[in-house]
Amino acid sequence: MTLDLFAGLAVSDYQRALTWYERLLGCEPAFLPNATEAVWELAEHRYLYIEELPERAGHALHTVFVDNLDERVESIGARGIEPATQETYENGVRKVIYRDPDGNEIGFGGPAR
């Protein structure tokens, strides 16, 4: 069974969000379905997208679990975006949280060190 996942984020200003997510993710979108939507492929069949929906903006909570969390945080920082917060859970799993200009939460989690 093939399964595709599209995780969406409502944003209030498409152009501002597009620039921010390009910096966060380190690349341009994989495709642009229309004039107010952009889609990035994070892994095969796993997509993150933004869509200009001002009335719904700022309420998303997404976490992407990666095996190279420290490298990911360093590369995002090199592109000028700093974490809003960082957490370490009792089992050692870590999460670094970023907030886009609307307040949407994008977390990157990683295994215990």
Q: What is the mean pLDDT of the segment spanning 28-38?
A: 98
Q: DSSP character for 13?
A: -
Q: What is the DSSP string of 54-94?
A: GGGTT--EEEEE-S-HHHHHHHHHHTT---SEEEE-TTS-E
pTM: 0.94
Q: What is the mean pLDDT of the segment spanning 61-70?
A: 96
Q: Give the pLDDT of residue 1.
A: 81
pLDDT > 70 fraction of the chain, expressed in percent and rounded: 100
Whether residue 88 is predicted with pLDDT greater than 90 in this model: the reply is: yes
CATH number of the domain residue 59 falls in = 3.10.180.10
In the chain, the amino acid numbered 81 is: I
Alpha-carbon distance of 51 to 62, in angstroms, equals: 15
Paired strand residues for 38: 50
Number of domains in the chain: 1
